Amino acid sequence: MTEPRTQPAFQVAVIAYRQTETPFVAAGASLAEAAAELGRRAGAEAARHAADGGVDDYVLTSTVLSPFLTDDTVEAEAFRHGMRKGFGREPDWITNAYECTGWGYILRHALRKARLSGPRRLLLQIVDVDIHNFAFWRLTSRWGHSGFGIATLLLDIFPDGDDEALLLGTAPQTHALTMMGRALRQFTEPRPGMAVALPFFPEATRRALFKSFDAAAAHPDRYSRFGHAFGSDPWLSMLAEIEAGADYAGGRCVLASLALNGYFAIAELAFAPDLRHALEAA
């Protein structure tokens, strides 16, 4: 754990992750039934971890989420109804444009709002569950085996926080790993000793990333346990470290994600002294 240095821009009150089954629902279930079940589960997780949280903004991001659930469809209404039933509220908006890095772009948006209207509490869910059960999402040469689940994050956004607490960027797909590594080097150099939570990748990919920055402070990789869990990877990394005995309450960590389309997100996150956390298998 690294002790606080400056006023944080982002402070985490809750980190939770619930793995889901693969396939998500029985083979005979309709898409609308699968959508309703996914909405119910996401809503239940939101209610469990943020029902008394005084939420100002509620946003959902994903890489895997079916486009049927973000459009004007029967399945989308079933999904939203399930969330309303579980939490009493549906997300203000849903994005999958930034793939695994969506959480970083949502933090940027929330910080801009906070600087206009004052501190805000953000409920952010990363929902990567495939209701279609496509083979592509389960295993690919690009990132190996996938992990599926629902991350639920409750964060306080402070308008007077560190201006340099968030670094977003993009690069051509062929050079994205190298460019993120260089960005990590730039971001971590003024934060010596601060732990770094990275995406989960097969060993060869991780070695390539480590060529671009000093990985001494990086968390151990949990790819063999979780697979590549998309935008949830660095948050799962935090949970696995806490599960292993690390004390991050009141401390800080650098989190990073990389998207297939070349986006990357790197952020310094502070953790509340009374940080709540949960990591649950399917």
Residue 1: pLDDT band with limits 50, 70, 90? low
Q: How many domains in the chain? A: 2
Q: Are residues 122 and 234 in the same domain?
A: no
**What is the token pair recorded at 106?**
């949502």
**Gap between the Cα atoms of 270 and 107, Å rounded:** 13
In sequence order, which residues have a C-beta less than 8 Å from that of residue 135 and are 6 or more positions away? none
Q: Are residues 97 and 38 in the same domain?
A: yes
What SS3 string covers 27-70? CCCCHHHHHHHHHHHHHHHHHHHHCCCCCCEEEEECCCCCHHHC
Residue 245: pLDDT band with limits 50, 70, 90? very high
Residue 5: pLDDT band with limits 50, 70, 90? low
Average pLDDT over residues 89-98: 95
User: Quick one: pLDDT at residue 27?
Assistant: 83
What DSSP designation does 185 have?
H
Among 232, 217, 231, CA closest to 185: 217
Q: How far is CA 215 from CA 42, 106, 194, 195, 266, in A?
A: 34, 26, 11, 9, 15
Q: How far is CA 199 from CA 88, 135, 182, in A?
A: 32, 21, 15
Average pLDDT over residues 181-185: 95
Residue 237: pLDDT band with limits 50, 70, 90? very high
Average of per-residue pLDDT values in the chain? 94
Per-residue pLDDT tens for 126-155? 999 999 999 889 988 889 999 999 999 999
Average pLDDT over residues 107-128: 97
Q: Are residues 130 and 247 in the same domain?
A: no
Q: Are residues 96 and 23 in the same domain?
A: yes
Residue 278 lies in a domain: no
57-61/93-95 β-pairing: parallel
What are residue 255's DSSP bridge partners? 197, 267
Residue 208: pLDDT band with limits 50, 70, 90? confident
Per-residue pLDDT tens for 172-182? 988 889 999 99
User: Quick one: pLDDT at residue 53?
Assistant: 77
What CATH number is given to the structural domain containing 67? 3.40.47
| CB-CB neighbours of 57 under 10 Å | 19
Residue ranges making up the domain that contains 65: 10-157
Average pLDDT over residues 100-127: 98
With 70 as the cut, is the pLDDT of residue 195 above it?
yes
Q: What angle do CA 143, 147, 149 make, to 5 degrees?
A: 140
